[in-house]
Amino acid sequence: MTTFGMDAAEFRRRGKEMVDYIADYLENIEQRQVYPDVQPGYLRSLIPEEAPEQPDSYEDVVRDIERVIMPGVTHWHSPYFYAYFPTASSYPAMLADMLSGAIGCIGFSWAASPACTELETVMLDWLGKMLNLPEDFLAGTAGQGGGVIQGTASEATLVALLAARSRTVRQIQAQSPERTETDIISKLVAYSSDQAHSSVERAGLIAGVRMRKIATDEKFAVRGETFSAMLEEDKRKGLIPFYFCATLGTTPSCAFDCLTELGPICNAEKIWMHIDAAYAGSAFICPEFRPLLNGVEFADSFNFNPHKWLLVNFDCSTMWVKKRADIIGAFKMDPLYLKHDHQESGLVTDYRHWQIPLGRRFRSLKMCMWSSPKSLSVGVREDQRFEISADVVLGLVCFRLKGSNELNETLLKRINSARKIHLVPCQLAGRFVLRFAVCARSTESHHVQEAWAHIAEIASELMQELQH
């Protein structure tokens, strides 16, 4: 087979060079500055204004990786990267992604590539069992539930919300056939924690429904009593509560909404409970963390990101539902060009009905290549000048200098300007807080110790300046 610009023989050679480049990059990532020095617009000046008439040689392209790309990369897999949340990476997952790219099938239906669909269903059952999810969430051979790989947790939140919207409209119309969909939707109200990820609010915006934020307790968790009071208030106003997105491991501080209080309320009120455990979910495989998931039995859907912690490269956000009919019902469209012979048999899953995009990659391949995860433990040494701003449960530490928000903003600015480590802030109860998330697979305790020493030193400099 001859290809444009590169034949199989050249791919064999270049592919092996690339494998070595990747191994070199990851083995030596510590030596690269974690956050780049470039200014906005840096890249445009480094390459031509238009695509060259004659393609560059492959050697030129490779040279451009170090000349053009790498100077502008934020190295998420550096052991000095403590920003946002981790994104996973492992060699086996990379091998699987290579294979997935080569097979290059688009798995929107069972027929479009049976292996792509079936491996996904079975892998999600495996993973669900590892998390000890209730049987209802598994597909098995005759289950009503099952799992799907979404690209991101944002999509899982949205898909669950759309399924809930559609289920509620159907339920209400069954009792009151005279009510229009528009009228019902205009009365719907969804809920989430005031600590929930911005994508939850965005899901409400996309779906065109009201979204209310529930105030959290001193641990930044949603409690049943607060939620109940809000529901009563909204029902008195004639609104229809229909969806609650609980968070396990919030983005600002890794707080856990109180599922065992909230779940029964949702069930009694016929409110769809979705659990967004994007960050924390991976930990539930460890028996010592599994109690944090108690209450999942009340949920309609549950989601977490193996691509954060489970050594599976982005994107791989796993979602389970108890009743697949609910989710399919929200989306199903069956044009003739997507129909196939096995469509109506119960064993067949057409994942296009489970997600926002039509097309999908063969992502389950990377799930069957990982091995068991290792739980992280972070030792934050005591320093009287600092305070811890939220419980440390998993791999995130929220802290600040005792003092003003301005002081802490300056501290963070200096830390990030020094370019040794990289972290991002959050706001907790009106206070500006620094988030230290252990991210890279290669982070060892000496890196964390170094990072703390570095932060303490910058803090000392800052305090000294202020005293003068």
Site residues for its own copies, window 81-110 (CB under 8 A)?
84, 87, 89-95, 97-99, 101-106, 110
Q: Is 8 in the site for its own copies (CB under 8 A)?
A: yes
Q: Is 453 in the site for its own copies (CB under 8 A)?
A: no
Q: Which is nearer to its own copies, 10 or 217 (CB)?
A: 10
**Among 290, 414, 441, 454, contact with its own copies (rule: CB under 8 A):** 441
Residue with structure tokens 């919030």? 250
Q: How far is CA 152 from CA 72, 148, 159, 315, 321, in A?
A: 24, 11, 11, 7, 16
Single out the residue of 163, 140, 141 nearest to residue 150, CA to CA. 163
**Among 171, 297, 442, 450, contact with its own copies (rule: CB under 8 A):** 442
Residue with structure tokens 């609104």? 239
CB 62 within 8 A of CB 10: no
* Site track 383-402 with its own copies (rule: CB under 8 A), x = hit: --------------------
**Among 325, 356, 407, 463, contact with its own copies (rule: CB under 8 A):** 356
Q: Which residues contact 121 (CB under 8 A, 6 or more apart)?
A: 139, 146, 147, 349
Joined tokens for residue 260: 């065992």
Q: Is 359 in the site for its own copies (CB under 8 A)?
A: yes
Q: Is 137 exposed, middle or buried (0-12, 13-18, 19+ CB in 10 A)?
A: buried
Residue with structure tokens 């909230």? 262
**Which residues between 260 and 279 bind its own copies (CB under 8 A)?**
none
Residue 362 Cβ, how far from its own copies at the closest point, in Å?
9
**Which residues between 164 and 183 bind its own copies (CB under 8 A)?**
165, 181-183
Q: Is 463 in the site for its own copies (CB under 8 A)?
A: no
Joined tokens for residue 136: 């209802």
Q: Is 238 in the site for its own copies (CB under 8 A)?
A: no
Q: Which is nearer to its own copies, 41 or 464 (CB)?
A: 41
Q: Report the DSSP beta bridge partners of residue 240.
A: 188
Q: Which residues contact 408 (CB under 8 A, 6 or more apart)?
A: 400, 401, 425, 431, 432, 433, 434
**Which residues between 196 and 225 bind its own copies (CB under 8 A)?**
197-199, 201-202, 205-208
Q: Is 152 in the site for its own copies (CB under 8 A)?
A: yes
Q: Select from 41-49, 233-241, 261-269, 290-298 the region that touches its own copies (CB under 8 A).
A: 41-49
Joined tokens for residue 453: 């020493």
- 305 C-beta neighbours (distance < 10 Å), count: 29
Distance CA 354, CA 156 (A): 9
Distance CA 184, CA 181 (A): 5
Q: Which is nearer to its own copies, 6 or 466 (CB)?
A: 6
Residue 100 Cβ, how far from its own copies at the closest point, in Å?
9
Q: Is 368 in the site for its own copies (CB under 8 A)?
A: yes
Q: Is 336 in the site for its own copies (CB under 8 A)?
A: yes
